[in-house]
Amino acid sequence: MKKIISTMLFAFVISALSANAQNILNNVVNQATNYVNGGGTSVSNEEVIKGLKEALTVGTNNSTAKASKMDGFYKNPAIKIPFPPELKKMESTLKSIGMTKQSDKFVQTLNRAAEEASKGAATIFINAVTSMNVSDGIAILKGNNDAATQFLKGATTAELKTKFKPVVTKAIQKVQLLKYWTPLANSYNKVPGVTKVNPNLEDYVTTKAIDGLFKLIADEEGKIRKDPAARVSELLQKIFG
């Protein structure tokens, strides 16, 4: 069982890769298949695991590239960052006093911060996920369609937040988020009877940006588990069939 786990684990990222990267990973699949079927001893389990980590690296780079491009968050409904939920009353109040354009610009800039921060996410993410133990793959193989993603999320989220937050802070400064937030907060706080607001935008963007990245990875895992066309070898068809 453990001999096929490496092949299964990297499969969920392959559909996101470029043609060149797929050629590299197809070679890993072929090597792993040969090893599992006893067709040779030239490839060790350690080498197959190394191929897995390379696959995760390429796949994560691809996911962060999607997230970090212009409108990667803003025009993707699955990961778009909305006005902070606890401030929905603030949003509706601002729109009622003629500040709809400013509110919408703030939401756009929230997403620009996430897109900018995602440019620096690949290295942070890869350093965390490539340390996982392949033996955990048995539980992932028997798990739900997003079992691999949930494993990675549970194992790395806390560390990612710590390392990712400084990246978000720089991104917020670069896109000038406070330039759009401060006038909104000042206008809202002057409305009679409202509770003054002062949310931690860094924490909010950090959490939502990480959630978005994991969502993209989960999508790729789902493809390989559900779509027969995405299973690039007979071995993968046996595993997921």
For the ranges 30-34, 211-215, 222-226, the lowest mean pLDDT is seen at 30-34
More confident residue, 208 or 231: 208
CA distance 221 to 190: 48
CA distance 18 to 147: 24
More confident residue, 140 or 87: 87
pTM of the prediction? 0.73
What local confidence, expressed as pLDDT, does residue 22 receive? Answer: 47
Residues of the chain above pLDDT 70, percent: 62
CA distance 201 to 183: 15
Apex 147 CA angle, 144 and 151, nearest 5: 155
Evaluate whether 227 touches 236 at the Cβ level (below 8 Å): no
Question: Average pLDDT of 98-109?
Answer: 93
Question: Average pLDDT of 152-158?
Answer: 81
Rg from Cα positions in the chain? 21
Evaluate whether 140 touches 152 at the Cβ level (below 8 Å): no
Three-class HEC string of the chain? CHHHHHHHHHHHHHCCCCHHHHHHHHHHHHHHHHHHCCCCCCCCHHHHHHHHHHHHHHHHHHHHHHHHCCCCCCCCCCCCCCCCHHHHHHHHHHHHCCCHHHHHHHHHHHHHHHHHHHCCHHHHHHHHHCCCCHHHHHHHHCCCCCHHHHHHHHHHHHHHHHHHHHHHHHHHHHCCHHHHHHHHHHHHHCCCCCCCCCCCHHHHHHHHHHHHHHHHHHHHHHHHHHCHHHCCCHHHHHHHC
| Tens-place pLDDT, residues 159-185 | 888 888 998 999 999 999 999 999 999
Burial class (CB in 10 A: 0-12, 13-18, 19+), 40: exposed
Output the six-digit token pair for 121.
């996410």
State the residue for tokens 């991104």: 171
pLDDT bucket at 197, cuts 50 / 70 / 90: confident
| Tens-place pLDDT, residues 6-19 | 444 445 444 444 44
